[in-house]
A = this chain, B = another copy of it.
Amino acid sequence: MKELHSLFYFLELAGTFAFAISGATAARKRNLDLFGICAIAFVVACGGGIIRDLCIGAIPPAGLTNWQYLVVAVTATGLTVGLFSVVERLNRPVLFFDAVGLSFFAVTGAQKALHYGYNGEVAMLLGITTAVGGGVIRDVMLNRVPLILEKEIYASAALIGALIVVSGDQLQWASEDWVSIIALSVCFTIRILALSFHWNLPTPGGNKTDADK
C-alpha cells in the first residue's frame, strides 16, 4: 500500500513536471512575460487535476495544497526560460514530455476517481480530463483551437489508458501496480507511434485549411 502510494506520488510529480515544461514552452513562444509563462506552466500542470478534484469532491484540490507541485512548476519554468536554447534544440522535446504527462495523468486521474468510490464511467471521463484538461486550458488561454482536437491521436490514447485502469479495477486481471504500468506503457506507446507515423483520426469535415481559421 505504501509502495503503491509512493508510485502514485512519483507519477503525479513526473506528470506535473512534464506538463509544466510543455506549458512553459508554449507560453514562451507566445511571448508572455515571466508571470504569464509561470501561470500557463502551472495551469497545464495542475489544471486537469484540479477539475478532476472538483468533480470528485476532493476539496481543496491537490494541485493547490501541496507545495511540491508549485515548486515543480516553477522549476520547470525556470529550466525552460533559462535553458531555452537547449530545450529548443532537443528533438521535439515538448511533444515527448507531453506524451509522458498524458500517460501519467490519464492513469492517475482514473485511479483517483476509482479510489474515491465512483464508477467506471466517471473514472474514464476524469482520466481523460486529468490528462488533456491542462492542455485544453493552455490552448484556450493562448487563444487557439485545442491542438488535441484536430491533430494526431492524443486524447484517444488517454482514453485507452484510462479504460485499461478501469478494466483492471473491475475485472481484477492483475494487481493495481501492474495495471498502472501496463496502462502507462500502452498510452505512451500509442501516443509516440501516432506522432512518429502521423496517425490521425478521420476528420469528417475534410482537411483543415488555413481558410477555415
Which residues of A pack against B, CB within 8 Å? 27-37, 39-40, 50, 54-57, 59-61, 64-67, 70, 81, 84, 113, 118-119, 121-122, 125-126, 136, 140-146, 148-151, 153-156, 159, 200-209, 212
Contact = CB atoms under 8 A, between A and B. Distances in A.
Nearest to A143: B145
A30 B119 contact: no
Given A36-B148, A54-B54, A136 B143 contact: no
Given A143-B145, A145-B30, A149-B40, A118 B202 contact: no
A205 B60 contact: no
Contacts of A151: 33
Given A36-B148, A56-B59, A31 B203 contact: yes
Contact of A141 (B35, B145, B203): B145
A85 B122 CA distance: 34
A202 B82 CA distance: 12
A35 B121 contact: no
Contact of A65 (B34, B39, B122, B140): B122
Nearest to A77: B204
A34 B67 contact: no
A146 B125 CA distance: 25
Contacts of A125: 64, 70
A126 B144 CA distance: 26
Given A121-B67, A140-B141, A31 B61 contact: no
Contacts of A200: 33
Given A203-B32, A204-B81, A119 B65 contact: yes
Contacts of A140: 140-141, 143
B57 A121 contact: no
B145 A205 contact: no
Nearest to A208: B31
A150 B212 contact: no
Contacts of A122: 60, 64-65
